[in-house]
Amino acid sequence: MRKIIAVIGDAKIDESSPKYDIAFQTGKLLVDNGFRVQSGGHSGVMAAAFAGAHASEKYREGDTVAILPGWKADNGNAWGDICIPTGLDLYRNAIVAGASAVIAVGGGAGTLSEISFAWTYKRLVIAYDCVDGWSAKVAGTKLDDKFRYPFEDKIYAASSPDEAIKILLEKLPLYTAEYTGIRFGE
């Protein structure tokens, strides 16, 4: 079974921006390495990652999964193979963050919520430190002091798509815990 990796970040970026290129290359490299790509399914980083996934020589139908905020499956970007309408608006960020790992490219408050959900779910989180936005602010840090794993656990900083994929391939096998719900006092 191929694991699904979420690529999250700015919903509004220019195609000539570094964020677009980073997201595109990340999506391509994910599919090159046997993963599927998940996102919120709209524009910006989401569309760039999906376009990159489609550009991979290893791409096959079903490699891009769009978790849409509205009720219409056809409201996503042109690159989404599997479009899941949730009707949950921003609350769908919790579903996006449930992927096997999350890679953040810049981003605002919505991206921060996805990073927070992924952290709570005990997922591997990789954040680009070479672009502005929340990914750079949290890269290399722990989001809180709660115990998640018995090894150096943090949001891993990446400065290039190649570095992000290297971290993913090395660290993903370590991130095996399942989120079991909120437990107060732990």
Contact (CB, 8 A) for 158 and 168: no
Query: What's the angle, vertex CA 152, arms to CA 183 and CA 135, rounded to 5?
Result: 80
What was the pLDDT predicted at 185?
55
Helix (H) or strand (E) holding 49: helix 45-55
Q: Which amino acid is at 106?
A: G
- pTM for the model: 0.97
What was the pLDDT predicted at 178?
87
CA distance 183 to 186: 6
What was the pLDDT predicted at 186?
52
What was the pLDDT predicted at 28?
98
- The tens place of each residue's pLDDT in the chain, 186 residues long, gives 899 999 999 999 999 999 999 999 999 999 999 999 999 999 999 999 999 999 999 999 999 999 999 999 999 999 999 999 999 999 999 999 999 999 999 999 999 999 999 999 999 999 999 999 999 999 999 999 999 999 999 999 999 999 999 999 999 999 999 888 877 655
Domains and CATH numbers, the chain: 4-174 (3.40.50.450)
125: its two tokens? 């989180």
